[in-house]
Amino acid sequence: MSSQFTGAMVQRFVDLCRDRGTPATPQRIEIYRALAGSEAHPTPEMLYDQVRLSMPSMSLATVYKTLDTLVALGVASEIATTGDAKRYDANMEQHHHLVCTQCHSISDFRAPAFERIPLIAPEDFTPEFVSIRVHGLCKKCKASPPHS
């Protein structure tokens, strides 16, 4: 999400809140702005640190509660990871992820070859959507291998 779009995303978020009757509080707006403005698929703690810069009274519990709200509203999703903290994504477009096996960074990835993955499943499973993740070494970790 390049920052030039973040403002528009926030505006759409505020509009959606009005439509749904969910109060668009300053806290919710700032948390959503931080999430929408990040490409790191941040953890609650990371969002907490970011939001406190402009809103020092922010509580970590509010970050957790708001992230639940954002997911329920359909403007964010939780990402499956093997890490020790939850990670969120405000990019609701169909896309996939690059996951670094070394530093566990996650970045968006879209490729035509992945656009038309068939939505298949066994008889007794009702598929809804597919997510693909490409595991490997990110640019940074390729450049600086683990200090032996």
Partner DNA sequence: TTTCGGTTGATAAAAATTATCGCGTTAGAT
Partner DNA sequence: ATCTAACGCGATAATTTTTATCAACCGAAA
Binding site for its own copies (CB under 8 A): 78-82, 86, 98-99, 101, 107, 109, 111, 113, 117-122, 124-139, 142
Please state the closest distance from residue 87 (CB atom) to DNA, in A: 8
Q: Does 133 bind DNA (CB under 7 A)?
A: no
Sign of dihedral through CA atoms 121, 126, 129, 134?
A: negative
- Among 43, 47, 50, 89, contact with DNA (rule: CB under 7 A): 43
> Which is nearer to Mn ion, 55 or 98 (by Cβ)?
98
**76 in Cβ contact with 35 (< 8 Å):** yes
Amino acid in the structure at residue 118 = P
Residue 103 partner contact from Zn ion, its own copies, DNA, none using kind-dependent CB cut-offs of 5 to 8 Å: Zn ion
The answer to the question of residue 61 lying near DNA (CB under 7 A) is: yes
Residue 133 Cβ, how far from Zn ion at the closest point, in Å?
A: 14
Element (H, E) at 30: helix 26-36
93: tokens are: 């477009």
Structure tokens at 146: 């683990």
The distance of closest approach from Cβ of residue 52 to DNA in the complex, given in angstroms and rounded to an integer, is 10
Structure tokens at 128: 């809804």
Binding site for Mn ion (CB under 5 A): 89, 91, 108
